[in-house]
Structure formats: C-alpha cells, structure tokens
Amino acid sequence: METECPECAGTVSIAAPEKGEIVECPECGVELEVVSVSPPALALAPEEEEDWGE
C-alpha cells in the first residue's frame, strides 16, 4: 500500500497494512494510524494523554 502522509504529504509505503496498525512517516517522522486499507488512508496516530489513576 502506498499513500500520502496527512502531516507532510510525503509518500508512505506499507508492505502488508492492517487497519489499526501504527506506522512512521519516513519523511517527517510522525506516527500514523492505518484507518483504511481499501482505499488506503492514514490519520495521525492518537496522542498520548496523561491520567493520574492507578
């Protein structure tokens, strides 16, 4: 699968994509989530929030 990074518009190639998979854009380094395989689509991966519970 080859598609565009939503952050920098660079090209991201993924050999065997799976929905939900987290990948890194080779051009800008941002982490991306595969939100669709057909048609291919990437979104910025969820950010990490802090929570004080235990």
Partner 1 sequence: MTPDDGAAVDLLAGMLRTPSLCGAEDAVATLLVESMTELGFDAGRDGAGNVVATLHPTQRSDATGEVVILGHMDTVPGAIEVELYDGALYGRGAVDAKGPLATAIVAAARAAPRLRRTVTVIGAVQEEGPSVGARSLLQRPAPEYLVIAEPSGWDAVVLGYKGSMRFRVEVAVAGGHSAGPLPSAPEVAVTFWNELVAWCTRRVPGAERKGGFYELTPSLLAMNSTHDGMEDVASLQVGLRLPPGLEPDALQPEIEALLPDGAFSFSPGEPAVRSDRRNPLVASFLRSIRLEDANPRFKLKTGTSDMNVVGPVWNCPMVAYGPGDSSLDHTPEEHIEVDDYLRGIRVLTRVLEEL
- The two tokens of residue 52 are 């004080």
The correct pick among 8, 9, 22, 28 for binding partner 1 (CB under 8 A) is 22
CA distance linking residue 5 with residue 29, whole number of Å: 10
Q: Which of residues 24-53 bind partner 1 (CB under 8 A)?
A: 31, 33-35, 45-53
Q: Does 2 bind partner 1 (CB under 8 A)?
A: no
Q: Does 54 bind partner 1 (CB under 8 A)?
A: yes
Return the H-helix or E-strand segment holding 33: strand 31-36
Provide the minimum distance between the beta carbon of 43 and partner 1 in the complex, in angstroms, as a whole number: 9
